[in-house]
Structure 1
Amino acid sequence: MFNMPLNNLKGIGDKKAAKLKKIGLSTYRDVLYDFPVRYIDRRKIVNISEAPDQVHVTIRAKVLSIRFKVVNKSKKEIMILEVMDSFHHGEIVFFSPQYIQSFFKTNELYYFFGKIEKMGALFKMMHPEYARADDKLFLSILPVYASTLGLYQSDLVRLHQQVAGLLSPIVEETLPMSVTALGKLCTLQDALYQIHHPKDEQTLKVARYRLIYEELFTLQLKLIVLKNNYHRAKADRLEMDQEVSDFMTHLPFKLTNAQVKAFEDIKVDLKSGNSMNRLIQGDVGSGKTILAFLTLLMALRNQKQGVLMAPTAILARQHYESFKQYFGEKYKVEILDSGVSAKEKKRVKADIELGTVDVVIGTHAVLEEDVLFKALGVVITDEQHRFGVRQRTIVSQKGDNPHVLIMSATPIPRTLSLILYGDMDVSIVDEMPAGRKPIKTHFVRPSKLEEMYVFIREKLEASRQVYFVCPLVEDSETLDLTSATAHYEALKERFHDFNVGIVHGKMKTKEKDLIMESFKRNEINILVSTTVIEVGINVPNASVMVILNSERFGLSQLHQLRGRVGRGDEQSYCFLLSEKLSKDAKARIETMVNETSGFEIADKDLELRGSGEVFGVRQHGLPELKLADLSKHKKILLEAQKHVKIVIAEYQLGNTEMIQYIDKLRLEINETFTL
């Protein structure tokens, strides 16, 4: 019955069914789970004297007279009811009287619900909803549904209430009884009926809570089942030794308190005897790389091999060079990426399998089937959102349950990370290294461009370097945006006495890497780029970031781009350019100007865009949350997460109800997720 087409229902012909299909409603099930976007409360009858102006209210009034009038411009006829509540006279105006004129009678009482317009002692309502005063069903909470042209709310309300009446009594409970008891939830039958037929605020609140809770609960549990992390695999214990302590003592800088705390978390995991599964969430430039090197060193001191995966070849080489700077030739480190020749790759793979390579740093090349390890102890993934879950799993399966550390500098809203990484232990690195100055961010209007260019020239003459980021590679006929190639030509002319380079996604990897290396060596003074520089490039001498058409970028991306500067001791600057700002774009720019913390920016991003669009939801193929909103329902999320852990524990103990429930979820997962 749930999958029956809607034209089986009375009043739904082929034309109406086609319109309903446009808004995603084809079957009875679609309608049952198409929840109202809001509700109109028509229960309280107000006197005109109490009613605020320009607000929707329900009034009870007597019709004193009915007259018709032709509107001059449109030549259309309107109907005007002269009405009176207890004390006030007013007019009710209808624009299509031919359909309703026979409904109204003089000296009879009616309910009207609409926006009231006060004019001294008089009032007016334009085309309100109406009913006879003896129709008590009118005084109810009315659901409002998403619609399209040609579908009336009255039709949608009737359809949803008809389907909810038919299906809610036969809906099977989807959560185990113990979970509904833990969450103090109403039944699914009651929730689905009341969401479409709310009796009062309390029953609606209870129904919504049940459905929001279930969305968040099943989403988190499905992710854990998908990642197969509902049990912790046994792993080799990796102990801290004197060399690791000495290395930390002789670092050329002092670790921040947040770094120390994160490394303590890592050490506890490595010594536990269970496979580490930890996410390091750090802001841009907060010093996660040194934590990766300390983790690798612990593996090496315990005669294990380590892997560090980066999303791009240039970032992999950056890590390779940094590792060599810290450890010299003491440990054998090899790089595996697309730039390594076939002959060299064959030699490196053979050495990895023999165990003569201690650390492998690379890109997706590390995922190749013939990359075999003798004693893989630690797998570290940098900028993890660039790798799918399945890709990370391939690497972690190359050893005997190696310890897994994931590092992310992409700001993830705290509530979203609770879902995406609900099965992981999370360490937050939210302090910047000593001496780092917050980046000064300014919004630049077209009238202030010349002042900005004067400032940039001063910085260039002081031997600093500058990034210019454009949203497009080449000019577009349809989009009025500044392209990288056009801006590159303009900057070469303006700054003819400096070296200007360009890098974008259409270039070959080797060509991009050569230009980036030239920029790192300060052979290029100004780098024009698309967002290919978003991840991880470390050029401490670059102190100015200019982002053109900044309204085209999301908050998270703007923060990542800004993080390419501010990596040295010098004061750095970020200029956001835009000629036209929508309300949302203005809110994003204001956030960037006023806020430097990636975590605060991510939370604001979630608030502005909603959980459906923020990083991590669509990209991870997670199902859409119909009612749950991660920026509003954090308490329910935390409660659901607590209960997910109980369910997993019961599953491990052999609880039959939980085994059957999780097995059922596992069958659904392949259809639901695309991780």
Structure 2
Amino acid sequence: MDSERHRRAAPAPSQADMPKYTDLDKPAQFLKNVGPKRAELLAKLGLLTARDVLYHVPHRYEDASTVTPIKDLETGMDATIVGRVVSKGVLPTRRGLRIFQAVVRDGTGLIECSWPGQPFLDRTIARNDLLLLSGTCRFYHGRQFQPKEFTTLAREGEDASEESGTIFPVYPATEGLTHRQVRTLIAENLDDLLRKAKDEDLLPREIRERAGLVPLAQALDWMHRPTSLKDVEQGRRRLAYEELFFLQLLYAQAHHRAAAERPGIAFPRRDTLVKPFHKSLPFTLTAAQKRVLKEIGEDMGRPRRMNRLLQGDVGSGKTVVALFAMLRAAENGYQAAMMVPTEILAEQHARTLQKLLEGLPVGVTLMTGRLGAKAWREVSYRIASGDADIVVGTHALIQEGVEFHKLGLVVVDEQHRFGVKQRLAIQEMGENADTLVMSATPIPRSLALTLYGDLDISVLDERPPGRQPIKTALRAESARPRVLKFVREQVEQGRQAYIVYPLVEESEKVDLKAATVQFEQLKEVFPDLRLALIHGQMPGEEKDRTMRAVAAGEVDVLVSTTVIEVGIDVPNATVMVIEHAERFGLSQLHQLRGRVGRGSEESFCILLYTGGDAAQRLRIFASTEDGFAIAEADLRLRGAGDLFGARQSGVPAFRFANLEEDLQLLTAARAEARAIVDRDPELANHPDLRDALETRYHERARLFRVG
């Protein structure tokens, strides 16, 4: 293999690569009523150009469409009112409480508004301010309105409608520039900006119509000047679709280049290995496995490079599916390589594959950094000579000096542990090799299409029959002694247990039990048991040594941080105790729970938590073992950015798209993008789309071109 590929630098951007500019790219300073000083304030909000200002949409809307006239307020009524401040002041009481009061008036009458204990509002609210207030009408020496929230819609002299039925936009602001000033500035420039936006409506009309979307200028107008919240949502959908469409357009080009432009290998099914392997299996494949094998088989049968993501929950049978694909490559005279993130996982996979392949003329070769110089030379020779049919390894597989004789398939396991650049480098291990990347972390479809839009996606959404369910229980922190007693009982029956903590060491800011501190305490609780500690700050060799001891049954209780989230298979481990479970995302909890229940014995996952707010979320987790359902719930509750923690930092930052709600938009955008690229791979007939893609996703586009 040409090792120069791994040292190839990204090409310098050509003139054609440079972003294109329009009137909306002019500095914000030259907008009406801006100037140099206000431009500095706008810059604090990230508003540097006219386009930035146009796309600076409200972050919330005050809906006055259900405003109650003041004359209709009744005692006990929760309501929203709009009125001008007639008078105001701070009223002291005999108990020392100071109450801010303001009398507001609309076209139907007056009412006194009261804020007990908030005298500082006297400096915030002024006479003749137009306020939108939401709260409750009480009776205290007459009717009195007690606001829970209020928004200053306009100061004296500022224009703002007082009529009901109005939606008031509230803009992100900064010190020295209030949301009302931002609203006024945008209103003064909006018509001119919208005229310029009409020239930048890049979505082809037929695509807009198929998706039921309004033109760009209309969408932006509705975002800034809505007459109803329905307008706002229509505008947001149009802008969200555009964000998703351009990202999918980029992915479609990357997919096309990987699959179509580079010559691939056609692997006809010869059944010299696949069929005997199928017959030797001691179990029946699930319907999901059969469906996914058909998808992979169709890919491998074509003379184009396969680029496919295989998603499957813990225990869904991904390894068997991958082995079918590797055998298809092998029976056509090609090698297959499986790359995993850790040495101990590589060793585990090698053992699993060897066991499954007993009786078949296929060898499994292991390559990791643990190999000594002599063993490394021997393994390298086997790989280079073609004697190694299936190679399982870590990053060692892509280090300089490793040359494959005839690599036809690359399988990447636990792909979320590898970045985009690593994934592209792995694909370069073979000139024309097919690529199958696997994930045991269930990802909602919307997030999968966003993170891995350049890949085709297969999902194993069915578990093999006979797998015992894991009993999941929620327990308050006060139940900890009983939980530890249960752990002891399980160990005395010959089982092993995990106890997981969210931190390595105690933090002054966060009052959580830490793994290092608790490990010492647990040694006092279990003086007669064999305890071990593992966490992410330990050297790699020490972690591997500890996990090998666990796998060998030499450890009764493993105290750990989330480093075991994706770990080895220990069938004898039947108890997972998770301390401060409220600190984990549901998907993270699901991965931790997957460390037990791998043998024939009944297994348990016990969540210890503090705080009442966490109970409902944790009950969702305890009610199902369906990783995809849990991931969807996590996406709704936490959002894409926090779903899998820092390791999922590849999630694009969307301003308008909402991955919890916009799957239909995303699916439509992906289909349209792929259809365009299938007809016009370099967008030669769509110059506006090509220019916008370079402008908006310049760096990401270069990365995929290098790959």
Normalised by the size of structure 2, how large is the TM-score?
Answer: 0.84
Residue 50 of structure 1 and its aligned partner are, at CA, apart by 5.5
Q: Distance in 2 between matches of 1:26 and 1:500?
A: 58
Number of the residue aligned with 1:555: 586
Which stretch of the first structure deviates more once superposed, 451-460 or 630-639? 630-639
Residue 46 of structure 1 and its aligned partner are, at CA, apart by 4.0
Are residue 255 (structure 1) and residue 285 (structure 2) matched? yes
Q: Distance in 1 between matches of 2:230 and 2:685?
A: 31
Are residue 651 (structure 1) and residue 675 (structure 2) matched? no
Number of the residue aligned with 2:3: none
Are residue 303 (structure 1) and residue 325 (structure 2) matched? no
User: Tell me, what secondary structure is at the counterpart of 2:628?
Assistant: helix
Residue 99 of structure 1 and its aligned partner are, at CA, apart by 8.4
Residue 22 of structure 1 and its aligned partner are, at CA, apart by 4.4
Which stretch of the first structure deviates more once superposed, 195-204 or 151-160? 195-204
Number of the residue aligned with 2:9: none
Q: Distance in 2 between matches of 1:133 and 1:477?
A: 51
Number of the residue aligned with 2:78: 54
Number of the residue aligned with 1:71: 91
Which stretch of the first structure deviates more once superposed, 194-203 or 137-146? 194-203
Number of the residue aligned with 2:452: 421
Number of the residue aligned with 1:626: 655
Counterpart of 1:198, as a letter, is P
User: Tell me, what secondary structure is at the counterpart of 1:612?
Assistant: helix
Counterpart of 1:263, as a letter, is L
Are residue 399 (structure 1) and residue 430 (structure 2) matched? yes
Change (3 A) 1:223 1:444: same
Number of the residue aligned with 1:332: 363
Residue 482 of structure 1 and its aligned partner are, at CA, apart by 2.0
Residue 601 of structure 1 and its aligned partner are, at CA, apart by 0.7
Q: Distance in 2 between matches of 1:252 and 1:238?
A: 26
Which stretch of the first structure deviates more once superposed, 262-271 or 88-97? 88-97
Matches within 5 A, 1:496-535: 496-535=527-566
Q: Distance in 1 between matches of 2:169 and 2:304?
A: 51
Matches within 5 A, 1:170-209: 170-171=196-197, 172-178=199-205, 179-201=207-229, 203-209=231-237
After superposition, what is the alpha-carbon deviation per residue over 1:626-657, rounded to whole angstroms, capped at 9, x for unaligned? 111111122222222221122122214x8743
Q: Distance in 1 between matches of 2:400 and 2:698?
A: 24
Q: Distance in 2 between matches of 1:82 and 1:218?
A: 49
Change (3 A) 1:399 1:633: same
Residue 500 of structure 1 and its aligned partner are, at CA, apart by 1.0
> Conserved in 2, the CA contact under 8 Å of 1:445 and 1:579?
yes
Number of the residue aligned with 1:108: none
Residue 78 of structure 1 and its aligned partner are, at CA, apart by 6.8
Matches within 5 A, 1:123-142: 123-124=144-145, 129=153, 137-139=161-163, 140-142=166-168
Number of the residue aligned with 2:310: 280
Which stretch of the first structure deviates more once superposed, 490-499 or 220-229? 220-229
Q: Distance in 2 between matches of 1:547 and 1:655?
A: 51
Number of the residue aligned with 1:167: 193
Number of the residue aligned with 1:601: 630
Q: Distance in 2 between matches of 1:402 and 1:356?
A: 18
Number of the residue aligned with 2:467: 436
Are residue 289 (structure 1) and residue 314 (structure 2) matched? no
What do you get for the CA RMSD once the two structures are aligned?
A: 3.5
> Conserved in 1, the CA contact under 8 Å of 2:310 and 2:437?
yes
Are residue 216 (structure 1) and residue 244 (structure 2) matched? yes
Counterpart of 1:195, as a letter, is M
Are residue 41 (structure 1) and residue 63 (structure 2) matched? yes
> Conserved in 2, the CA contact under 8 Å of 1:545 and 1:573?
yes
Residue 574 of structure 1 and its aligned partner are, at CA, apart by 0.9
Number of the residue aligned with 2:20: none
Counterpart of 1:515, as a letter, is T
Q: Distance in 2 between matches of 1:484 and 1:56?
A: 50
Q: Distance in 1 between matches of 2:30 and 2:341?
A: 52
Number of the residue aligned with 1:537: 568
Counterpart of 1:394, as a letter, is A
Q: Distance in 2 between matches of 1:414 and 1:192?
A: 28
Counterpart of 2:562, as a letter, is T
Q: Distance in 1 between matches of 2:695 and 2:289?
A: 41
User: Tell me, what secondary structure is at the counterpart of 1:434?
Assistant: coil
Are residue 456 (structure 1) and residue 487 (structure 2) matched? yes
After superposition, what is the alpha-carbon deviation per residue over 1:562-591, rounded to whole angstroms, capped at 9, x for unaligned? 11001112111111223346x3x4444222
Which stretch of the first structure deviates more once superposed, 2-11 or 642-651? 2-11
Counterpart of 1:124, as a letter, is F
User: Tell me, what secondary structure is at the counterpart of 1:574?
Assistant: strand
Alignment match of 1:114 (pick from 123, 133, 143)? 133
Residue 426 of structure 1 and its aligned partner are, at CA, apart by 2.2
Q: Distance in 2 between matches of 1:227 and 1:395?
A: 16
User: Tell me, what secondary structure is at the counterpart of 1:55?
Assistant: strand
Number of the residue aligned with 2:295: 265
Counterpart of 1:431, as a letter, is E
Q: Distance in 1 between matches of 2:114 and 2:137?
A: 14
> Conserved in 2, the CA contact under 8 Å of 1:440 and 1:572?
yes
Change (3 A) 1:622 1:565: closer
> Conserved in 2, the CA contact under 8 Å of 1:378 and 1:402?
yes
Change (3 A) 1:84 1:639: closer
Change (3 A) 1:228 1:192: same
Change (3 A) 1:324 1:116: closer
Residue 71 of structure 1 and its aligned partner are, at CA, apart by 2.0
After superposition, what is the alpha-carbon deviation per residue over 1:161-197, rounded to whole angstroms, capped at 9, x for unaligned? 2343443322342524354454443332332233212
Residue 77 of structure 1 and its aligned partner are, at CA, apart by 10
Alignment match of 2:414 (pick from 383, 393, 415)? 383
Residue 82 of structure 1 and its aligned partner are, at CA, apart by 7.5
User: Tell me, what secondary structure is at the counterpart of 1:162?
Assistant: helix
> Conserved in 2, the CA contact under 8 Å of 1:226 and 1:669?
no
Change (3 A) 1:448 1:412: same
Residue 271 of structure 1 and its aligned partner are, at CA, apart by 2.0
Number of the residue aligned with 2:268: 238
Alignment match of 1:318 (pick from 331, 335, 348)? 348
User: Tell me, what secondary structure is at the counterpart of 2:685?
Assistant: helix
Q: Distance in 2 between matches of 1:187 and 1:295?
A: 46
Residue 622 of structure 1 and its aligned partner are, at CA, apart by 4.4
User: Tell me, what secondary structure is at the counterpart of 1:390?
Assistant: helix
Q: Distance in 2 between matches of 1:71 and 1:445?
A: 46
Structure 1 runs not aligned, ≥5 long: 105-110
Residue 311 of structure 1 and its aligned partner are, at CA, apart by 1.0
